[in-house]
Structure 1
C-alpha cells in the first residue's frame, strides 16, 4: 500500500443497520399494498393528487421527493473534494463504472428483456415505458444509502464521502445528457425542457438547500462540534425522509393499482433486469478493484456505489416526464423494492472476500 493508503483513518466497526434500513423492503412492500388498496377503493382521492400539477411537475410528489433528498444533501461535504487526488484508483473506478458503463448496460438489459425476452407478454407501449424507467435508474448512482453499505463493509468513511461528492457534481452535468441520449437511442421521445427542469428541481434545489443548511449548522456549532451537529440534524430529519419515501410509494402504487392487479407478474418482469444489472455491475467494479490492488476499505464502497441507485431522483424524473400513472414511474419504484435485499447480499459477499484485498489485516 502507498503512504496515502496507510494514512487514512479507519472508521469504527459497523454496528449494523437501523430498524428502517434493515426492514426497508418490508416497509416498501407494505406501502405498495396500501397504495394498491387505497387506489382501488378511493380513486377520487388519487385523482385530486394527480391534478396538483404545474409545468408537468406533480406538486405532491415534488414535496415528498424534497423531503427524501434534502437531508441526504446536508450530509454531503463538498470540502472533501480537496482530497480528490488522494488514492485516485478507487475514484477512477467509481467514475468509470457509474458514468461510462452502468447507464449503458442498464439500457441494454432493459431493451433485451422488454423488446425480446418479454416482448410476447407485454404491449409495445408498456415495454417502452418500462425501458425508460430502467434507464432513469441506471443513470442515477446512489447518494445516501451508500454510506450504510460502506459502514457495513468497514469502508473508509472519508473516502466514501469523496466518491459520493464527486458523483453528485458529475450528476448535475451528466444525468440529463445521458438520459436523453439513451432515451433517443431506444426511440423514446426526449422532452428536454422537462428533463432539465427535473434536474434543477430534484438535484440543484435540494443540493443548494443542503449546502446552505450545512453551513448554517457549522456556523452556529461550538468549535469542534460541527460534525456532531450535522449528525444530530440528520437523525432529526430522518423520519421526514422515511415518510417522504413511503408516501411516494403509496401514491405511485395508488395510481398503478388497477394495472398491477390485472398483471401481477409485471413486477417480477421489471425486477429481472434490475437484479442482473446489480450483480453484474458489482462484479465489474469489485473485480477491477481487486485486479488493480485497491485496498478493501476503498474497493468495497467503490463497487457498492455503482450497484446502488439514487431511486428518489429516478422516481421524481419519471413522474415529471411520463406521469404518475406511467410504467416508467412503476419501474423506478420496483427499484426501491429490489435494492435492499440485493445490496445486503452484496455486502455479505464483500465481507466474505475481504482477505483477498490489500489492507485486509488492518481492517479486522
Structure 2
C-alpha cells in the first residue's frame, strides 16, 4: 500500500480541518468553485470524481459482464435495500429524531424542512462515489458497474413517486439534466476511457501495472474533493455547528444501519466479498447531486431541506471510509 492508502484516515481528517479553515479564511475561492457548475453538478468536483472513478473503469472487462448473472444475490440485496427499505427508514429516523427527540431544540417548521432533505437523500442511491468505495475494497468492477446501472434505471422511474409519497406532495420535478449529466460524467465517459485504456495496454499484466500506477492519484483526488466539499460549507459549519450535529445523527444511524443490513445479508447468503462490499456500500452512499438539486428546486437555496442534503454530503465521506476499512478488515470472513 502507498503512503496515501496506508494513512488515508489521517489524510481525510486533515483535509476536513483544512477545508473548514480555508472555507472561512478565503471564502471567495470556494464561491468561485461553487459557481462552476452545470445543472447543479459542480464541474471541479466532477473532474476529481472522474479521476477517482477512472482507475476502476480500467478494470471493467466487457467479456466478463455476462458472468454477473451467475451471482444474482448481490444485485437482489442492493435493490431490496435501496428501494424497499432505505427511503422509508431514512424518513422514519428523520421524523423520530428531528421532530420528537430533538423537538425542544429544533423549531417545528425547521424540523419539517430537515426531514424533507433527509428523505431526498434516502431516495437517491449513489451513482459516482460507489466506484471509489468499491475500488478501495477490491470490489468486482464489472459487478459494481451493473449494480450502478440498474439502480440508475430504477431511479428514473421510482425516485419521484417515492419522494412524492414520503413528502406528501405531488409536484415533484426530477431534474433530468442533473441525472443525465451525472450519468454521462461519472459512468459513460470514465467507462469509455477505461475500455480504451484496456485496448491500448493489451494484456492483464500491463493493465494491473497501470492500475497500480494511477491508484495514488485516485486517492489524492478523494482528498482534494474532501477539502473542497468542507471548504464550500466551512462558514455554515462554524455558524451552525449544533444544527449540523443534530441533522447528522439520523444520517449516521441510517448509514451504519443500512450497511449492516446489506453486508449482513450478503454474508448470510454467502455472497463473495468482492461483490458483498460494493453491494452494501452502494446502499449506504447517496447521489447527493440529485438530492441537493431537488431540495433547491422544491424548497429554495437557503432552505432547511437544502442544508440537510449538504450535511449528508459532509457526513458521507468519513462514514464511507470507516465502512471501507471495516469491509477490508472482515474480508477473510467471506470464504
User: Shorter chain as normaliser: what TM range?
Assistant: 0.7 to 0.9
1:144 to 124, 132, 135: 132
Contact 2:78 2:279 in 1 (8 A): yes
Partner of 1:339: 320
Tell me which of 220, 223, 231 is aligned to 1:246: 223
**2:44 pairs with 56, 60, 65, which one?**
60
- How far 1:340 sits from its partner (Å)? 1.8
Deviation at 1:236, TM superposition (A): 4.0
Give the corresponding residue for 2:201: 221
Gaps in structure 1 of 5+ consecutive residues: 1-16, 152-156
Displacement after TM superposition at 1:139 (Å): 5.3
Deviations 1:279-326 (A, max 9, x none): 43344345544554x2xxx35445432432489872433454457984
Whether 2:70 is the aligned partner of 1:86: answer yes
SS where residue 132 of structure 2 aligns? Answer: coil
2:249 counterpart SS class? helix
Pair 1:234 & 2:218 matched: no
- In structure 2, how many angstroms separate the alpha carbons of the residues matched to 1:310 and 1:231? 28
**Would you say the 8 A contact 1:133–1:314 is kept in 2?**
no
Contact 2:93 2:250 in 1 (8 A): yes
State whether structure 2 residue 274 is matched by structure 1 residue 305. no
Which of 121, 137, 140 is the matching residue for 1:134? 121
SS class of match (2:195): helix
Residue number in structure 2 paired with 1:108: 92
Match of 1:114, SS state, is: helix
In structure 2, C-alpha distance between the alignment counterparts of 1:321 and 1:168, rounded to whole Å? 20
Contact kept in structure 1, 2:83 and 2:123, CA below 8 Å: no
Residues 142, 103 of structure 1: alpha-carbon distance in 2 compared, 3 angstrom cutoff: farther
The alignment yields a C-alpha RMSD, in angstroms, of 3.6
Return the offset for 1:127: 1.2
SS of match in other structure, 2:241: coil
Counting only pairs closer than 5 Å after superposition, residues 1-364 of structure 1 correspond to structure 2 as 18-122=2-106, 123-124=110-111, 127-128=114-115, 130-132=117-119, 134-135=121-122, 138=125, 142-149=130-137, 151=138, 160-187=140-167, 190-192=172-174, 194=175, 196-222=176-202, 225=203, 227-289=204-266, 291-292=268-269, 294=270, 298-309=271-282, 314-322=287-295, 326-327=306-307, 328-348=309-329, 351=332, 354=333, 360=335
Post-superposition offset of 1:173? 0.9
**CA distance, structure 2, for counterparts of residue 265 and residue 135 of structure 1:** 22
Query: Could you tell me whether the CA contact under 8 Å between 1:90 and 1:302 is conserved in 2?
Result: yes
Q: Distance in 2 between matches of 1:136 and 1:70?
A: 26
Segment of structure 1 superposing worse, 199-208 or 229-238: 229-238
Q: 1:84-113 CA distances to partner (integer Å, 9 max, x unpaired)? A: 332444443344334433344334334433
Deviation at 1:167, TM superposition (A): 0.3
Given the two structures, how large is their TM-score scaled by the length of structure 1?
Answer: 0.72
Cα 1:79/1:303, change in 2 over 3 Å: same
28-37 or 301-310, larger mean C-alpha shift:
301-310
Answer whether contact 2:82 2:283 (CA < 8 A) is retained.
no
Rounded Cα–Cα distance in structure 1 between residues aligned with 2:2 and 2:116: 34
In the superposition, relative to structure 1, how do residues 208 and 346 fare at CA in structure 2: closer, same or farther (>3 Å)? closer
Q: CA 1:24 to 1:232, structure 2 compared with 1: closer, same or farther past 3 Å?
A: same
* Gap regions ≥5 residues in structure 2: none
